[in-house]
Amino acid sequence: MALNNSPVRTDIGYLRRRVRPAPAAESAALVSTAPENAAPEPEPRRAASAGLSLAPATPGPASPAGTAPVAAARPVVSPDSLPFPAPTIDDVRELGHSEPVLRLNARESAVGSLIVSGADVAVWEDADRVTGSANAAGDLAGTPVTTSGNRPLVGFDEADAVVSLRHVQELRRALFVARGPHPLGVQIFDGSTVTTARGDDSRMFVLYLLRIGNLIELRAEPVDRTLSDDAILQQFGFTLTPHVVTRESRSR
């Protein structure tokens, strides 16, 4: 069965929590900020809607008085800046048919390394849409992305694929494929782990990593086992960008 590549349905009610609507006078400023398009944008744009709302009933200023202009201009974190609720890594032991998605919090998404064990192929797309892939044998395709810490944004370290979470803001999405007998495993800084389901004879699960704002979302996506790695990349819309090797200036 072909993978459904259509955008995620944000109009389906179960994806969002319904709360009591705010009073009419306030609703214009507080209405829902559901994602306009649930495709993984680095900084999801949000559109006003008169429907569901995740906003609090009142704005709740942090301080009643003495607010300086600099502080007033600073965005205050509020529930309406969050995407729809999703399980945490503590809620899910195995990503698969019954629990296809989990979301890391801002700290889990940003500290240390996200380690993916069992991966044979890792694919990345950074915030500038620079795309490349690596495999466990050390082969690279497309364009590598190296962070200011002299480490690949996504790459292999011995047998494990590693995502540099210090630079999570530079990452847009990644995909990990396992061809071996073992499922994919994910470990984060605090030691929490989750695995992907093994699948069946015809289908297997790949691990899809999305960054939504400052949060990482992990999804187990079923794909046909017979598909090649290139075909899987194509299904997920990854197009490897050509890598131009630059050299020192030869003008002298």
User: φ, ψ for residue 186 (rounded to 5)?
Assistant: -125, 135
Residue 231, classed as helix, strand or coil, is helix
58 near other proteins, rule: CB under 8 A: no
Answer whether 123's CB lies under 8 Å from 238's CB.
Answer: yes
- Single out the segment in contact with other proteins by CB under 8 A; choices: 20-28, 99-107, 118-126, 231-239: 99-107
Site string for other proteins, 182-221 (x = CB under 8 A): -------xx-----------------------x-------
* 230 Cβ neighbours under 8 A, 6+ residues apart: none
The span of 5-13, 159-167, 199-207, 235-243 binding other proteins (CB under 8 A) equals 159-167
From CA 134, how far away is CA 211, in angstroms rounded? 20
Which residues are within 8 A (CB) of 192 and not within 5 positions of it... i.e. 6 or more apart?
89, 90, 108
Q: Binding residue for other proteins (CB under 8 A) from 39, 40, 46, 166?
A: 166
Nearer to other proteins, 24 or 68 (CB): 68
- Residues interacting with other proteins, by CB under 8 A? 62-63, 65-68, 70-71, 74-77, 105-107, 109-113, 115, 147-151, 157, 162, 164-166, 168-169, 189-190, 214
